[in-house]
Amino acid sequence: MRPSSLFSESGIDVTDDAVLETFNSIAIPACPTVILRLVDAIREDATDLKTLAQLIATDVGLAASVLRLANSPFFRLPSKARTIHAAVSVLGLRNLVRIAYNVTLHQSLGRSNSAAMHRFWNRSAYKPIAAASLASLLATKSVDNAYTFGLFCDAGIPVLMQRFANYKETLRLANRSVDCFTSAEDARHNINHALVGAMLAWQWHLPSAVYRAIGHHHDVRIFDVDAPSDDDALIDLVALGILADFIVSRFLATEHDAEWHRVAPLAIGRFGITYPQLEELHQTILPELEDARQYRG
């Protein structure tokens, strides 16, 4: 299928020929079969735990992660879950889907231990947790989608890292620029990680609000009160992502991107909170992030 057809079907507005040509040269990982089957199974009301367990068992890496998490301190089981069926019973459907997307996304992106990708992989472990926790604490309607958005939000980065030999330098420039993060990417490559991530998320059958929020997560125009938009879920997700980045940066003791100071007031204003209240949210979420760090080892 041609890129223009993909963009048309996804509802992502891209008409620039240079962008479409560049996109055509990028290999976006296909959605794994286990995810397709899992999504289909979940959509059927009659799906039982046995069916889900059988699907999970078809992927060795996914099955191992499901067992490992079920037996982690998060769930404090009186005795170990020794089968996938037992683990699925403990985790529940929501956690199961989160794990499936997390594991298969890491597998598909070809996880690298290189220094160039250390920042990405480190932050990607905690941003979904922070985003989901914020959604719950702020009582938004995006709780179910917040984790998935946080997980896939920057997934276009490793894809572009594999495509462009000088993309590491592009990231360095983007991180230091007070302009829109994606401006440096567009100028150097005719494409950016937000657009690539949105297309990946769409091809992986994520909800519309999620993949569209990924495509717009550096676009502050969506916060414009005069802009005609009734897509509250999309805007909430983008704002949650901005605040999650702040919390993860504080947790990892890393510098905020230069863009933070420009977008922070917009995200904070979206939820009607203050900077001191954001700090309180950070302190509330901190134990969850610490638990995740211990789980990662």
Residues 146, 152, 156: CA angle, nearest 5 degrees: 150
The stretch 178-200 carries a mean pLDDT of 90
Question: Domain check: are 118 and 87 in the same one?
Answer: no
| Within a domain: 176 | yes
Percent of the chain at pLDDT exceeding 90: 36
> Is pLDDT at 3 greater than 50 in this prediction?
no
Within-domain flag for 1? no
Confidence tier at 297 by pLDDT (50, 70, 90): low
- Assign residue 212 the CATH number of its domain: 1.10.3210.10
- Asked if residue 2 is part of any domain, the answer here is no
What percentage of the chain's residues is helix, strand, coil (to nearest 5)? 70, 0, 30
What percent of the chain has a predicted confidence (pLDDT) above 70? Answer: 88
Q: Are 11 and 208 in contact (CB under 8 A)?
A: yes
* Average pLDDT rounded to a whole number, residues 222-228: 71
Domain that holds residue 242: 7-28+113-296
Tokens 């990662």 belong to 296
Mean pLDDT of all residues belonging to the chain: 84
pLDDT at 232: 86
Task: Find the angle CA(24)-CA(4)-CA(20) to the nearest 5 degrees.
Answer: 40
Instruction: Say if residue 37's pLDDT is above 90.
Output: no
Cα distances from 3 to residues 24, 72, 88, 158, in angstroms, run: 6, 42, 38, 20
Of 217 and 7, the structure prediction assigns the larger pLDDT to 217
Which of 84, 108, 132 is the C-terminal boundary of a domain?
Answer: 108
Same domain, 45 and 117: no
For the chain, how many structural domains are there in total? 2
* Residue range 240-284, pLDDT digits in tens: 999 999 999 999 998 877 788 889 999 999 999 999 999 999 999
My answer on whether 145 and 211 are in the same domain is: yes
Domain boundary among 83, 108, 133: 108
Give the contacts of 177 (CB within 8 A, at least 6 positions apart).
183, 184, 258, 259
Q: What is the pLDDT of residues 197-217, one digit of tens each?
A: 999 999 898 988 999 999 999
* pTM exceeds 0.85 for this model: yes
Q: How far apart are CA 75 and CA 85, in angstroms?
A: 16
Mean pLDDT of 17-41: 81
pLDDT category at 4 given cuts 50, 70, 90 is very low
Instruction: Please check the confidence at residue 6 and state whether its pLDDT lies above 80.
Output: no
Rounded Cα distance, 116 and 167, in Å:
10
Least confidently predicted of 55-69, 202-216, 221-235: 221-235
Choosing from 108, 125, 141, the residue where a domain stops is 108
Pick the range with the lowest mean pLDDT from 3-17, 89-103, 179-193: 3-17
42, part of any domain: yes
Cβ atoms 232, 270 nearer than 8 A: no
